[in-house]
Structure 1
Amino acid sequence: MTLPDHHLTQGERRIRSFHPHWKQLIIPFVALILIVIASGVGMFFVPGEWQYAAYARIAIGVIAVLLLTIWSFIPYLQWKNTGYVLTSHRFTISSGVLNKSTDEIPLTKVNSVSSDQSFAERMLGCGTLTVESASEQGQLALRDIPKIQDVRADLFRAVEDVSDGEVDGK
């Protein structure tokens, strides 16, 4: 996912790979259900004896497909094509469906790692991970990170290993 193994440098190992938290898919899923129900009801109530009934049903279907594409399919593709990879040398953030954007933060440049969770995020096990690096980006806030405390601990451990010169536990 997002960083193929053949792109890893010699001695670099993958620690964790993940997508944003599934809560980003709640609204697209609700939109999917509502659009399907509304289009089904709309098609049901088009009078069968009406001379333009076929055209009305086709129009309802086309509008439903367009709305499903915009409000459900595209957000799903965005979620699916956003990925985070933590390796023993870097933290990579990739996003984009047609165009791809990749940010990499070398662990040697990371100054601090912190997390923030609202009450609802604590219940869902996700949160915002803030990585401060000595780069031109400065502070990077990553929202909806699943298993935030585990990711934070892994990232902090990897940063400590790199700063101590103990990459890969050696």
Structure 2
Amino acid sequence: MTLPDHHLTTGEKRIRSFHPHWKRMVVPFIALVLIVLAFGAALFFIPSTWQYAFYGRVAAGVIAVLLLTVWSFVPYLQWRNTGYVLTSHRFTISTGVLNKSTDEIPLTKVNSVSSDQTFFERILGCGTLTVESASDEGQLVLRDIPRIQDVRADLFRAVEDISDGQVDGQ
């Protein structure tokens, strides 16, 4: 996904790789449907007998493509190109479409891991993960993490294993 296997260090194992929760794509999907419906309505209501009908349809198409790009395609690319990787040694957060930004938190620097879920997020099984580390940045707040309780448990288990000098419970 965002951290190829050949970038793992010796003895490092991938525990979990994931994207933000799909709920981030609900608004872009609704925008996609509304833009397509509006474009269809524009094509339907532009009379074919109008002398500028061709230009009106082209203009409607250009506007629809621009709106789809800004409100649907770009958010999809941002969602798709945001990835989280938990390994036995580090937690990596990678973001960016054209430019890539990667943050890595060594598990030895993690002080605490907590999660927060609203009622709606509990229904969807996602939430906000807060990782407090002994670095300059202090707290890292990650929103819309899918299967938040499983991720939190895996992260906590990996932190405990690394602090005990163990890897994967061994």
Between the two proteins, the alignment pairs up a number of residues equal to: 170
Aligned to 1:142: 142
Is 1:50 the counterpart of 2:50? The answer is yes
Provide the rounded CA distance (Å) in 2 between the counterparts of 1:35 and 1:78: 20
Which residue is 1:13 aligned to?
13
Q: State the Cα deviation string for residues 74-131 of structure 1 (Å, max 9, x = none).
A: 0000000000000000000000000000000000000000000000000000000000
Shift of 1:167: 1.5
Alignment partners' CA distance in 2, 1:22 and 1:14: 22
CA distance in 2, matches of 1:22, 1:149: 16
Alignment TM-score, normalising by the size of structure 2: 0.99
Match of 1:24 in 2: 24
Letter in 2 for 1:5: D
Distance 2:149 2:164 in 1: 22
Normalised TM-score (structure 1): 0.99
Report the CA distance between 1:168 and its aligned residue. 3.1
Q: Deviations over 1:36-75 (max 9, x none)?
A: 0000001110010111000000000000000000000000
Which position in structure 1 is the counterpart of 2:123?
A: 123
For 2:41 and 2:114, the matched residues in 1 are separated by: 48
Q: Which residue of 1 aligns with 2:154?
A: 154
Question: What CA distance in whole angstroms lies between the structure 1 residues aligned with 2:114 and 2:124?
Answer: 18
SS at match of 2:102: strand
How far apart, CA to CA, are the structure 1 residues paired with 2:79 and 2:165?
A: 35
In structure 1, C-alpha distance between the alignment counterparts of 2:24 and 2:168, rounded to whole Å: 33
Q: Secondary structure at the match of 1:168?
A: coil
How much has 1:169 moved relative to structure 2?
Answer: 2.8
Summarize the alignment of residues 73-88 of structure 1 with structure 2, pairs less than 5 Å apart: 73-88=73-88
Which residue of structure 2 aligns with residue 2 of structure 1? Answer: 2
Query: Is residue 41 of structure 1 aligned with residue 28 of structure 2?
Result: no
Cα RMSD between the aligned structures? 0.5
Overall identity of the aligned pairs, in %: 80
The question of 1:98 aligning with 2:98 is answered yes
SS in 1 for 2:168: helix
Gaps of 5+ in 2: none
Letter in 1 for 2:2: T
Distance 2:23 2:137 in 1: 27
